[in-house]
Chain A
Amino acid sequence: MKAMIIKEFRQLRRDRRTLAMMIVMPVILLVILGYAASFDVSRIPTVLAGPSARQVAALRRPPFEVVGTVPAAQAQSQLRDGHAAVAIVTGGARPVVLIDGSQLFTARAAEQALATMPARLSVRVLYNPELKTSDIMIPGIAGVILVFIGTVITSLGVVRERQSGTLEQLAVMPLRPRDVFLGKITPYFAVAAVDLAVVLAVGVAVFGVPFRGSPAVFALGALLFVFVTLGIGVLISSVSQNQGQAIQLAIMTLLPQVLLSGLIFPLSSIVAGVRWIAYLLPLTYFNEIARGVMLRAEPLTALWQPFLYLALLGAAVMTLAMLRFRSFLAPSAAAPEPDAGPGTGPDTEPVLAGTGEPS
């Protein structure tokens, strides 16, 4: 048994990445999740609409935080476009409070806070009137599934090429790196698209999740999102030596996306020191788009921000993935040192990758 233990420790020591993960990961996870894991809502962005704001003076206190004043007709669009979670419309017999039900925890906090108010109000929950969890979870879970296909499965498929030794063969075939790259990710792209359609169909048919917005806007968002996740997958595989390492890295990108993207914990409840991570995660933006389109029928014009960030993320990740993939395809790049001689400069890469040949 002692021999076995020693052997195992030796192997573990060689696999630096796993070792680092075993030691560093728990600490990072604990710190991030400790600050992120909060369902508490301390701040509810509220807009006041209508002529007599004085009527609702009682509401101008925490957790409600007035972020703007608009004409009564715009109250609902303020909620739809995500500018506020609560709108208080005055001018009628009694003030009407509109609550955005697609922000589940915020909506519940608002309901609780309103219950303690002495003022006579009529409360209406929009977009998710029954405050159903499935309505807000399923659009996000569709995103998680896309991350799974895009990142985990893609990274495995590409690194398999290195492990089986077929990568070297690919490098000397008359294929351009771009062909290999696109050829690699297209099947995963197709599978992700089918998966998304199935998840949405089941969500709508079985769980009764509404789909109120434009399918085209949703599809565009999903397309951008899948693009980013596929790029991350290729990136992971290009820095992994084997499928085990690829899985570890892929899980490392999956976990924070599940926990920090606003899928489970409201973004506004995450401590600012950790919240910035959320804005680097593609799922955060997909979540905004999916919930916005499906539950609130947000138009593209109101969603330009998540679309823009997703596009920027996609461009950055894809460029990086493509560059890494080129050197990944050149088998010698890993071996000789840059100063080894005149033949190993970066300018030799096109030859190795076979770009000199028409295809």
Chain B
Amino acid sequence: MKAARAARAAGISRPSDGHPPRSAWGLSGVSVRYGHHLALDGATLRAVPGQITAVVGGDGAGKTTLLRCAAGALPPSDGQVSVPGIRQIGYLSPSGGIYPDLTVEENLSFRAAAFGLPPAQARARVAEHLDRTGLAAAHARLAGNLSGGMRKKLGVIAALLSGSALLPGPALLVLDEPTTGVDPVSRADLWWLIAQAAAGGAAVLFATTYLDEAQRAGQVLVLDAGRPLASGTAAEIVAAMPGVIRPLAARPTGQRPLAWRRAGQWRVWDPAGTPGASPALSPDLQDAVVVAALAREEARP
């Protein structure tokens, strides 16, 4: 009771029975201060069961802080966090939460035991994951000796070992940059794991610096310096982009640097969208995010 009251005071609400009858988890107007530094400023996000939500932004954008709030590891300074019980959350922390001096198998059995899952059930649940992601052969290897990509896969597989014997798997899967620094093949493996979890009914929340990945997510939240820059489906964010983007042959020489380089070519944002000399490009999520950042810069006095 005391804990529940404290949770409400902290802006974290959890259903008392721990089962997921509700339609979505999420954060609403969440801010986090570290001392005088505002790491997250009014972030709102919905994590819908069966759907993948991407949190994108550069380094220091507040992705990790937001995910820590969603995982229940950090109480918000302001705003509301609505998440399932601690047992129903699978969390991949920035460090992966993997013990380098334990083997793959030992790491997984520790995680399963901590969540009170029967060992046989846990083994059965991870068998396919290990096999499909190429970790089965490495089951007896020390996690510290795995490659970076393999360790990430192990971290995600371990995060899937939440829930309970009766209700296996996480209701909310929170993954902090599962694919950063991972080769394309391993990234595909990781995406398979993430998609499997979503197909199994989990609300997936993941942070990434790769916008091409975010494009595959059902919902996207773009953060910049702790503040939400844009949110919605990738298509919605692109559609909401003001102005137009045009290709440029060379580095622009103008006063305002509203241009950037992408795939060896220069692009410039024309906020007014005036019918000009060169035809407009059809923008994608990456363009829309760059434009949103530029627009915020522009709006600053």
Q: Which residues of A contact B (CB under 8 A)?
A: 164-166, 168-175, 331-332, 335-337, 340-345, 347-352, 354-357, 359
Identify A336's interface contact among B32, B71, B95, B97, CB under 8 A: B32
Q: Judge whether B3 is part of the interface by a CB distance below 8 angstroms.
A: yes
With both beta carbons as reference points, the residue of chain B lying nearest to A330 in the complex is identified as B73
A341 pairs with B86, CB closer than 8 A = no
B152 to chain A, nearest CB (A): 13
A171 pairs with B73, CB closer than 8 A = yes
B14 pairs with A341, CB closer than 8 A = no
* A174 touching B97 in the complex, CB below 8 Å, given contacts A343-B77, A357-B87: no
Chain B residue numbers with a CB within 8 Å of A175 are 114
A117 to chain B, nearest CB (A): 65
Which chain B residues in 83-102 approach chain A with CB under 8 Å? Answer: 85-87, 89, 91, 93-100
A356 pairs with B93, CB closer than 8 A = no
- The 5 A-B residue pairs with the shortest CB-CB distance in the complex, in nearest-first order: A165-B95, A169-B97, A356-B3, A341-B77, A348-B10
A174 pairs with B86, CB closer than 8 A = yes
B273-296 to A contact mask, C-beta < 8 Å, 1/0: 000000000000000000000000
Identify A331's interface contact among B7, B73, B96, B116, CB under 8 A: B73
A-B contacts, 9 of them at CB < 8 A, read A165-B93, A166-B99, A168-B93, A172-B71, A172-B73, A172-B89, A340-B35, A340-B77, A348-B9
B9 pairs with A165, CB closer than 8 A = no
A350 pairs with B2, CB closer than 8 A = yes
With both beta carbons as reference points, the residue of chain A lying nearest to B6 in the complex is identified as A347
- Report the Cα distance A102→B33, complex, angstroms: 61
B98 to chain A, nearest CB (A): 7
Q: Judge whether B20 is part of the interface by a CB distance below 8 angstroms.
A: no
A165 pairs with B94, CB closer than 8 A = yes
Which chain B residues in 113-171 approach chain A with CB under 8 Å? Answer: 114-116
A167 to chain B, nearest CB (A): 9
B73 to chain A, nearest CB (A): 5
With both beta carbons as reference points, the residue of chain B lying nearest to A335 in the complex is identified as B34
Q: Judge whether B4 is part of the interface by a CB distance below 8 angstroms.
A: yes
Q: How large is the interface on B (under 10, 10 to 19, 20 to 34, 35 or more residues)?
A: 35 or more
Most buried by A among B72, B75, B78, B115: B75
A164 pairs with B9, CB closer than 8 A = no
B115 pairs with A173, CB closer than 8 A = yes
- Report the Cα distance A173→B86, complex, angstroms: 7
- Report the Cα distance A335→B39, complex, angstroms: 11
Chain B residue numbers with a CB within 8 Å of A349 are 6
- Report the Cα distance A348→B69, complex, angstroms: 13
Chain B residue numbers with a CB within 8 Å of A173 are 86, 111, 114-115
Chain A residue numbers with a CB within 8 Å of B68 are 168, 331-332
Most buried by A among B33, B98, B116: B33
- Report the Cα distance A345→B115, complex, angstroms: 28
Chain A residue numbers with a CB within 8 Å of B3 are 350-351, 355-356
- Report the Cα distance A334→B215, complex, angstroms: 35
A168 pairs with B95, CB closer than 8 A = yes
- Report the Cα distance A352→B6, complex, angstroms: 10
Identify A343's interface contact among B2, B10, B73, CB under 8 A: B10
A343 pairs with B11, CB closer than 8 A = yes
- Report the Cα distance A168→B159, complex, angstroms: 13
Q: Which residues of B contact A (CB under 8 A)?
A: 2-7, 9-12, 14, 18, 31-36, 68, 71-78, 85-87, 89, 91, 93-100, 111, 114-116
Chain A residue numbers with a CB within 8 Å of B75 are 332, 343-344, 348, 351-352
With both beta carbons as reference points, the residue of chain A lying nearest to B111 in the complex is identified as A173
Most buried by A among B2, B72, B73: B73
B78 pairs with A166, CB closer than 8 A = no
- Report the Cα distance A345→B11, complex, angstroms: 12
- Report the Cα distance A135→B99, complex, angstroms: 44
A338 to chain B, nearest CB (A): 10
Most buried by B among A170, A172, A349: A172
With both beta carbons as reference points, the residue of chain B lying nearest to A332 in the complex is identified as B74
Chain A residue numbers with a CB within 8 Å of B87 are 174, 357
Chain B residue numbers with a CB within 8 Å of A164 are 95, 99-100
With both beta carbons as reference points, the residue of chain A lying nearest to B176 in the complex is identified as A168
Chain B residue numbers with a CB within 8 Å of A336 are 32-35, 77
Chain B residue numbers with a CB within 8 Å of A345 are 9
B93 pairs with A174, CB closer than 8 A = no
A168 pairs with B73, CB closer than 8 A = yes
A342 pairs with B114, CB closer than 8 A = no
A356 pairs with B14, CB closer than 8 A = yes
Chain A residue numbers with a CB within 8 Å of B33 are 336-337, 340-341
With both beta carbons as reference points, the residue of chain B lying nearest to A334 in the complex is identified as B34
Chain B residue numbers with a CB within 8 Å of A331 are 68, 73-74
B77 pairs with A356, CB closer than 8 A = no
- Report the Cα distance A359→B18, complex, angstroms: 13
Chain B residue numbers with a CB within 8 Å of A332 are 68, 73-75
With both beta carbons as reference points, the residue of chain B lying nearest to A339 in the complex is identified as B33
B95 pairs with A343, CB closer than 8 A = no
B153 to chain A, nearest CB (A): 16
With both beta carbons as reference points, the residue of chain A lying nearest to B38 in the complex is identified as A340
Add 8 more A-B contacts to A335-B34, A337-B36, A343-B77 (CB < 8 A). A168-B68, A172-B71, A332-B73, A342-B78, A343-B10, A348-B6, A348-B7, A354-B86
- Report the Cα distance A335→B68, complex, angstroms: 13
B155 to chain A, nearest CB (A): 9
Chain A residue numbers with a CB within 8 Å of B85 are 356-357
- Report the Cα distance A291→B76, complex, angstroms: 56
